[in-house]
Amino acid sequence: MEPFKQVEGRAYPFGRKNVDTDVIIPAEFLKTISREGLGEGAFKVVRAEEGNVFDDPEYTGAPILIAGDNFGCGSSREHAAWALDDMGVRVVIAPSFSDIFSSNAFKNGILTVELPQEAIDRLMEVAATDPITVDLDNQVVTTPFQDRLEFPIDPFRKSCLLAGLDEIGLTLESSDAISAYEQKITADKPWLKPEISA
């Protein structure tokens, strides 16, 4: 995974609340066995609307997306994160995110920034005309108009993003602890193994 440091650029002033992952990427695009090329289907339903932000040349290639409450709710499909990544989106800013989406985004090097609704309203205003900057190291969103909006982030996620760490590799460093747990469970709860065989 590419390390994440700072992103500066235009932001799609999308602003809607309860944007579900069916809207981010409809089911018809889930039949792929690859992680690539999903940007093509991203926000298909929104793109059918006249004057939508995603087809506005003003925002072409914007690395930031601003949305309302509960972004990424619904289906667990990681295709939503892959689609955003394929569109070139590196940061989504919203008042809240669904837990699964936020985790999927993080695992693909996409930062989810939670800011209160007033801050979102301000950024929507700025995004209409100017770029904004997201600095992960200092946990702050800034604008050319001296706005400074600090955001919280889980320290573990922050360090993984900054270093571009492979989480599986990280967990496998604890292989011995996992083996020890498995041995203990096999002894204490032998009934836990399901009666299945390949």
Partner 1 sequence: MTRPRTLYEKIWDAHVVERRDDGTCIVFIDRHLVHEVTSPQAFEGLRAAGRTVRRPDLTLAVPDHNLPTTPRRDASGNRIPIADPMSAKQLEALEANAPAFGIRYIDDAAPEQGIVHVVGPEQGYTLPGCTLVCGDSHTAAHGALGALAFGIGTSEVEHVLATQTLLLKQSKRMEIRVEGDLGFGVSPKDVVLAIIGKIGAAGGTGHVIEYTGSTIRDMSIEGRLTVSNMSIEAGARAGLIAPDEKTFDYLKGRPMAPSGADWDAAMDWWRSLPTDDGAHYDTRVALDAADIAPNVTWGTSPEDVVPITGSVPDPESFAEESKRAAAAKSLDYMGLTPGQRMEDVAVDNIFIGSCTNSRIEDLRAAAEVAKGRRIADGIKQALVVPGSGLVKAQAEAEGLDRIFVEAGFEWREPGCSMCLGMNPDKVPSGQRCASTSNRNFVGRQGPGARTHLVSPAMAAAAAVTGKLTDIREMMG
- The residue ranges that bind partner 1 (CB under 8 A) are 15-18, 20, 22-23, 26-28, 30-35, 44-45, 68-70, 73-78, 81, 96-100, 103-104, 107-108, 117, 154-156, 167-168, 170-172, 174-175, 177-178, 181-182, 185, 189-198
- What is the helix (H) or strand (E) element at residue 111, kind and residue range? strand 111-114
Q: How far is the CB of 55 from partner 1 (least distance, A)?
A: 17
Q: How far is the CB of 143 from partner 1 (least distance, A)?
A: 22
Q: How far is the CB of 93 from partner 1 (least distance, A)?
A: 15
Q: In three state form, how does the secondary structure of 45-91 look?
A: HHHCCCCCHHHCHHHCCCCEEECCCCECECCCCCHHHHHHHHHCCCE
Q: How far is the CB of 77 from partner 1 (least distance, A)?
A: 7
Contacting residues for 167 by C-beta, under 8 A, at least 6 apart = 107, 160
Burial class (CB in 10 A: 0-12, 13-18, 19+), 196: exposed
